Chain A
Amino acid sequence: MENLLNIFIKSIFVENMVFAYFLGMCSYLAVSKTVKTSFGLGVAVVFVQVITLPLNFLMEKYLLKPGALVWLSQSFADVDLSFLTFILFIAVIASLVQLVEMVIEKFSPALYASLGIFLPLIAVNCAILGGSLFMSEREYANVAEASVFGLGSGFGWMLAIVAMAAIREKIKYSQVPTPLRGLGIAFVITGLMGIAFMGFMGINL
């Protein structure tokens, strides 16, 4: 239990997807104009992350690792399918994103319209594939750990985008040099936030 809590806290603050690894920046920068939209996208990312990570964990354990196919038949003991990792992970992610897209379109057309092209782009949100790759790299022991890591990293991403949106809503009222307005200042702010979050690095619970 303590271990799970550790993974959760660590993946939100210490190893924040945006500030520590700079993953998922595209949608982070483009959608963070209002708090409401970014909250919607954040929830979608958490949702996709929580489902894909355990699923990819099982995929890796029972399909991809060297000798993972033993459960089918002993003769597969020396089959190594790990070169298929990328394509299988991305296939799982893409099909789930398509599912989320259909659900949002049906139940919240307003959110669907405001997310625009960035909803299908969750599939290519590096935070999601990055999460799966980190999961396989760090060798989490079981499905529970993988799910908690998914929840934590999703929340961390949501925290980053909502904080950014809040800052950008406020910055409308300040005197930013005209050519720097919008995207330019967003980059600089993210850089500064990244420096701040570097303070969390190295903390161990």
Chain B
Amino acid sequence: MFSKKNLKLVTDPINKNNPITVQVLGICSALAVTVKLEPAIVMALSVTVVTGLSNFVISLLRNTIPKRIRIIVQLVVIATLVIIVDQFLKAYSFDVSKQLSVFVGLIITNCIVMGRLEAFAMANKPLPSLLDGIGNGLGYGAILVIVAFFRELFGSGTILDIKVIPQAFYEAGYMNNGFFILPPMALIIIGIIIWLQRGKYKELIED
């Protein structure tokens, strides 16, 4: 099960083939839920579950789905899984579910789920598809958590709602940067992450 090839399916999207910074998938929710760290973590886990399981299910069905109606079949599977995740969150972590409200529903339209179904699950066996889904969910989550970390740290001076910037700083004139709470900053942070990543892996550089 954990051959080198399968392990690569999980680790690649976290590194060099990241869904957000390289494949350009799943950006909308990345912006919306990253003001605070906690919702970002829950969102990352939910997306990982949905990508993993939907990849698995579609891969099982891949030979029986007619090409012409594949989008509808895929969306029904995704929507069902998202409803399950939504109900699960409501039952076990109601507060966070309330914070995320709309965005859990918007996982249905998160292009990363659909993108992996089209690009991987429709052409591969169930087990590799499951691993590919989990890997991409984690890669997506990693970016989400990094962005949320910086936005919460500079925007509200907290991490996971715990104050980290000492009161003495505020007394000395330090102020939270309100700009980090606004959506454009999420884009600029992702831009910087891409910059750093491509500085490290030269082969990713576009002409």
Chain A residues with a Cβ under 8 A of chain B = 22-27, 29-30, 86-87, 90-91, 94-95, 97-98, 102, 117, 120-121, 123-126, 128-130, 133, 177-188, 190-192, 194-195, 198
Instruction: For the complex of A and B, list the 6 residue pairs with the smallest distance between their C-beta atoms, beginning with the closest.
Output: A182-B206, A187-B191, A179-B198, A191-B187, A184-B194, A194-B184
Structural contact, A90 and B108, CB atoms closer than 8 A: yes
- Given A26-B24, A117-B119, A180-B198: A195 and B184 within 8 A (CB)? yes
For the complex, give the distance between the alpha carbons of A144 and B21 in Å: 40
What's the nearest-Cβ distance from chain A to residue B168, in Å? Answer: 32
Is the C-beta of B26 less than 8 angstroms from some C-beta in chain A?
Answer: yes
Q: State whether the Cβ of B111 lies closer than 8 Å to any Cβ in chain A.
A: yes
Contact B111 A26 (CB under 8 A): yes
Q: How far is it, in angstroms, between the C-alpha of A124 and the C-alpha of B106 when the chains are bound? A: 9
A183 adjacent to B187 (CB under 8 Å): no
Encoded as 1 (CB less than 8 Å from any A CB) or 0, chain B from 65 to 89 comes to: 0001101100110011011000000
Cα A188 to Cα B187 with chains together (Å):
6
Please, which residues of chain A bring their CB within 8 A of the CB of B27? Answer: 22, 25-26, 29
B115, A117: Cβ atoms under 8 Å?
A: yes
In the complex, are the beta carbons of A191 and B195 less than 8 A apart? no
- A98:B108 contact, CB within 8 angstroms: no
Residues of chain B from 123 to 143 with CB closer than 8 A to chain A in the complex:
none
B32 with A117: CB separation less than 8 A: no
- Report which of B72, B102, B207 forms a contact with A181, defined as CB distance below 8 A: B207
Bound CA–CA A124/B182 (angstroms): 25
| Docked CA distance A185–B187 (Å) | 10
- Spell out B's residues near A (CB within 8 Å): 21-22, 24-29, 31-32, 68-69, 71-72, 75-76, 79-80, 82-83, 102, 105-106, 108-111, 113-115, 118-119, 182-188, 190-191, 194-199, 205-207
Q: How far is the CA of A95 from the CA of B69 in the complex (A)?
A: 8
Write out the residue numbers on chain B whose beta carbons fall within 8 Å of the beta carbon of A184.
191, 194-195, 198
Q: Is the CB of B198 within 8 A of A97?
A: no
Chain B proximity of A49: nearest CB distance (Å): 14
Minimum Cβ distance to chain B for residue A105 (Å):
11
Please name the residue on chain B nearest to A22 by beta carbon.
B31
What would be 10 A-B contacts, judged by CB atoms less than 8 Å apart? A22-B187, A23-B28, A26-B115, A129-B108, A133-B102, A179-B199, A180-B198, A183-B194, A184-B198, A195-B182
Knowing A124-B114, A178-B205, A179-B198 are in contact, say whether A97-B71 is a contact too (CB < 8 A).
yes
Indicate whether A123 sits within 8 Å of B71 (C-beta atoms), given known contacts A26-B24, A181-B205, A188-B191: yes
Measured CA separation A187–B105 after assembly (Å): 25
